[in-house]
Amino acid sequence: MNYRKYYERKNNKQIPKDWDVHHIDFNHDNNEIKNLIAIPKVLHVFIHKDIGYCDRNEIEKMLKTLKDNKGYKDLK
């Protein structure tokens, strides 16, 4: 099963179309739900291009910052 669909099924919610599912440990073979997080594409690119590995808590802090400063309506 596609990990995006798997994430949606396990979390019982649809991922916005301008979002990606990020593998926290960068291992695309590790599709455990604790290793997946839905994030806006802009953040996904930033993590892969500029930051590298960061844990779930760091990613959630970045999501909160985006929500607070950019007004992303899909962030909850």
| Dihedral-angle region of residue 33 (phi above 0 means left; psi in -120 to 50 means alpha; beta otherwise) | alpha
Give me 29's structure tokens: 């073979």
Mean pLDDT by 10 residues, the chain (76 residues): 92 94 96 96 93 94 86 56
**What pLDDT is attached to residue 68?**
84
- How much is the pTM? 0.84
pLDDT on residue 71: 59
User: What pLDDT does 53 receive?
Assistant: 92
From residue 76, give the alpha-carbon distance in Å to each of 22, 27, 37, 51, 60: 17, 26, 13, 23, 11
